[in-house]
A and B are shown apart, each in its own frame.
Chain A
Amino acid sequence: MSASAPQVWLDRQALRNNVARATELIGPDSRLMFAVKSDAYGHGMDLVTPEVVAAGAHELAVLDIPTAIATRRNAPDTPVLAWLVGAGDDYSAALNHRIDLGVSTGWQLDRLAELDSTDPVTVHLKVDTGLHRNGATAAQWPELTDRARQLELTGQIRVRAIWSHLADTSVETSRQALERLHRAVGVARAAGLTPDTLHIAASHAAIELPEARLDMVRLGILGYGVSPFSDQPASTWGFQPVLTLDAPVTGIDGHSVSLGVGYCHGLLPPVREATITVDGQRCRVETVGPAETRLHCSEPPQLQIGDVVPVLGGAPEAVSIEQWASWCDTIGDEVLVRLRPELTRAFRD
């Protein structure tokens, strides 16, 4: 096989396995919300979304309203949660597309109150339990829940869920956050709200803290078979990497090899010594340029222009996403989300 451009391959069985594995891990009492934000962590949202829904993911998480609406064409009937909601966003479009909204502030509720509709907006009310990112503080929470209850009574919203997000600093701080969530739920119920879903855990806590799984787990990085921990691979829990990035050989000169992939394709340049395996030997990465990666091999490799080299991801000879991330002094998430949307992506089967 001869190639001239980099290519992203997805492993359908690995993706299905990960959904099944997550469902098994969190048990029958918790729903699985699969995160497809950031172009499905660089995998390609249009490919991943229908597959995870078919494999049994109950709900989907995206970031903002425009992405949520784009998700609808691949998941017409699955609940979709958008939770980064701005002052200038199109709330009526969200309602028209039956998008669940993550709401943290009174002004967001005011926007929902202005909508002219007979159907209520489904709301996940967010409380800050210590991450200090989105979510209402404990001081803001009573007023927010009272206001939400008023809007339920006038038929404008329905508070389906109360949720939060963990800092994953330690098991101890996660337990404290969980206690704060339960206290906030008490306040919400006293205000008359009747949420049926509580959720706080993402990949990290879903593994580390079983009591945080509650009614739903939001699975991001682990669903793609990449570990949320620096010291344990995703295979520890039976998750398999979904993505492989292939690149063509574009030049050979003795010990030097050029691959036709670079940072304009989204390959993050390493800041430490890094290697890529070609022709069975680990060759040192000299530079990652805009469109080309140059390697130095200790033996002249037997290769031809157009030969395909698995660079990153799940293929046996490829560098794992976690390994590349550590060479770039970052986490797998950043390596994945940088992969450019222009790259050709397909399931390999």
Chain B
Amino acid sequence: MSSPANHSPLRWATTHSHRLRDALTEWRERVGTSTPIDLRANAYGFGDEAVASLAAQLGFVSAALDSTSTVESLKRSDSESNDGWVDIAHHYGAFSLHAQVINSKAVDAGAEVSYGGLYRTTQPSTLALIAIGFADGLPRLNPVGGHVAVAERRLPIAGRIAMDQIIVDTGNEPVEPGESVTIWGGSVSCAEWAEWSGRSCALLGAGLGERVVRIVEDQ
């Protein structure tokens, strides 16, 4: 897992190449290599260069691409393409979205959290501030809710998702500034975020913002 070193990004997305290759192999078995693969919206967040180069290795020939795309490993296609590979790739764990803990503090029972006071602590607790928000592509969940994860531990989002930040209730086991939190692609899945938000994983991936640093892991 890529965790932030010095001068590390506040939020980042990791495309896991080996799992993506497995997912594309399954996709190839379903549709064959002649169906154009839909890599618009920067391959729905996976990174069009990374997906295109794996798809080309697997024998795919053509792709639907953004008008601004610089992909050369696949031929640009305007005919009907298919983004069915996206959910498969998420299912294989080929993508994860992360952010840093910025602050962590103890609060009393009854603390109202974030805009509108829509979350209230029921007992003395600790709250962690995480450096990611709807400007980075998180859906502004309405009604509020949702979870993120620190390793295997699922933690509830406390109240309204803001433009640049979320707050997580860490109970009596606080997390530390600099620790990394997984938003989706681990113990919390993209499919769950799709359910909470009513937005598909393709749409969620397409909405990832410019501040999210992209990492492709090769091993």
- A residues engaging B (CB < 8 A)? 5, 37-39, 63-64, 67, 84-90, 104-105, 107, 128, 130-134, 136-137, 139-140, 167-169, 173, 263-264, 266, 268-269, 271, 290-291, 329-331, 333-334, 337-338, 341-342
Q: Are A38 and B116 in contact (CB under 8 A)?
A: no
Which residues of the other chain, B, contact A266 by a CB distance below 8 angstroms? 207
Q: A130 CA to B116 CA in the complex, in Å?
A: 11
Which residues of the other chain, A, contact B167 by a CB distance below 8 angstroms? 132-133
25 contacts between A and B (CB under 8 A): A37-B135, A38-B163, A63-B164, A64-B211, A84-B164, A85-B102, A86-B8, A86-B177, A88-B6, A89-B7, A107-B177, A128-B105, A132-B113, A134-B103, A139-B106, A263-B203, A264-B66, A264-B206, A290-B38, A290-B83, A329-B142, A330-B140, A331-B140, A333-B163, A341-B210
Q: Are A334 and B134 in contact (CB under 8 A)?
A: yes
Nearest A-chain residue to B158, judged by Cβ: A132
A-B contact count (CB 8 A): 131
* Minimum distance in angstroms from A44 CB to a CB of chain B: 12
Interface residues in B139-169 by Cβ distance below 8 A to A read: 140, 142, 158, 162-165, 167
- B residues engaging A (CB < 8 A)? 4-8, 10, 38, 40-42, 66-68, 83, 100, 102-103, 105-107, 111-117, 127, 129, 131, 134-135, 137, 140, 142, 158, 162-165, 167, 177-178, 198-199, 202-203, 206-207, 209-211
Which residue in B41, B140, B158, B177 is a CB contact (below 8 Å) of A264?
A: B41
Which residues of the other chain, A, contact B127 by a CB distance below 8 angstroms? 132
Which residues of the other chain, A, contact B103 by a CB distance below 8 angstroms? 104-105, 134
Q: A333 CA to B100 CA in the complex, in Å?
A: 23
Which residues of the other chain, B, contact A341 by a CB distance below 8 angstroms? 210
Which residue in B40, B131, B142, B162 is a CB contact (below 8 Å) of A330?
A: B142
* A128, A290, A291, A338, most chain B CB atoms within 10 A: A290
Q: A128 CA to B7 CA in the complex, in Å?
A: 26
Q: Are B8 and A88 in contact (CB under 8 A)?
A: yes
Which residue in B100, B111, B129 is a CB contact (below 8 Å) of A88?
A: B100
Q: A86 CA to B102 CA in the complex, in Å?
A: 5
Which residues of the other chain, B, contact A130 by a CB distance below 8 angstroms? 112
Which residues of the other chain, B, contact A107 by a CB distance below 8 angstroms? 177
Which residues of the other chain, A, contact B206 by a CB distance below 8 angstroms? 263-264, 290
* Minimum distance in angstroms from B66 CB to a CB of chain A: 6
Q: Are A132 and B7 in contact (CB under 8 A)?
A: no
Nearest A-chain residue to B176, judged by Cβ: A87
Known A133-B114, A169-B112, A329-B142: A263·B207 in contact at CB below 8 Å? yes
Known A330-B142, A333-B134, A342-B68: A173·B106 in contact at CB below 8 Å? no
Which residues of the other chain, A, contact B140 by a CB distance below 8 angstroms? 330-331, 334
Which residues of the other chain, A, contact B5 by a CB distance below 8 angstroms? 88
Which residues of the other chain, B, contact A63 by a CB distance below 8 angstroms? 164, 211
Q: Are A38 and B100 in contact (CB under 8 A)?
A: no
Nearest A-chain residue to B198, judged by Cβ: A271
Which residues of the other chain, A, contact B177 by a CB distance below 8 angstroms? 86-87, 105, 107
Known A38-B135, A137-B107, A341-B210: A88·B4 in contact at CB below 8 Å? yes
* Minimum distance in angstroms from A41 CB to a CB of chain B: 9
Which residues of the other chain, B, contact A329 by a CB distance below 8 angstroms? 142
Which residues of the other chain, A, contact B164 by a CB distance below 8 angstroms? 37-38, 63, 84
Q: A148 CA to B67 CA in the complex, in Å?
A: 51
Q: A233 CA to B111 CA in the complex, in Å?
A: 31
* Minimum distance in angstroms from A151 CB to a CB of chain B: 19
Which residue in B10, B113, B114, B178 is a CB contact (below 8 Å) of A84?
A: B10
Q: Are B41 and A133 in contact (CB under 8 A)?
A: no
Q: A164 CA to B29 CA in the complex, in Å?
A: 56
Q: Are A84 and B131 in contact (CB under 8 A)?
A: yes
Nearest A-chain residue to B203, judged by Cβ: A263
Q: A85 CA to B177 CA in the complex, in Å?
A: 10
* Minimum distance in angstroms from B165 CB to a CB of chain A: 6
Nearest B-chain residue to A67, judged by Cβ: B211
Which residues of the other chain, A, contact B131 by a CB distance below 8 angstroms? 64, 84, 86
Known A38-B163, A133-B129: A5·B67 in contact at CB below 8 Å? yes
Q: Are B112 and A132 in contact (CB under 8 A)?
A: yes
Known A167-B114, A291-B40, A337-B134: A133·B165 in contact at CB below 8 Å? yes
Q: Are A64 and B41 in contact (CB under 8 A)?
A: no
Q: Are B209 and A337 in contact (CB under 8 A)?
A: yes
Which residue in B135, B178, B199 is a CB contact (below 8 Å) of A86?
A: B178
Which residues of the other chain, A, contact B102 by a CB distance below 8 angstroms? 84-87, 134
Which residues of the other chain, A, contact B162 by a CB distance below 8 angstroms? 133
Which residues of the other chain, A, contact B142 by a CB distance below 8 angstroms? 329-330
Q: Are B40 and A169 in contact (CB under 8 A)?
A: no
Which residues of the other chain, A, contact B135 by a CB distance below 8 angstroms? 37-38, 337
Which residue in A104, A167, A263, A269 is a CB contact (below 8 Å) of B115?
A: A167
Q: Are A37 and B163 in contact (CB under 8 A)?
A: yes
Q: A137 CA to B38 CA in the complex, in Å?
A: 49
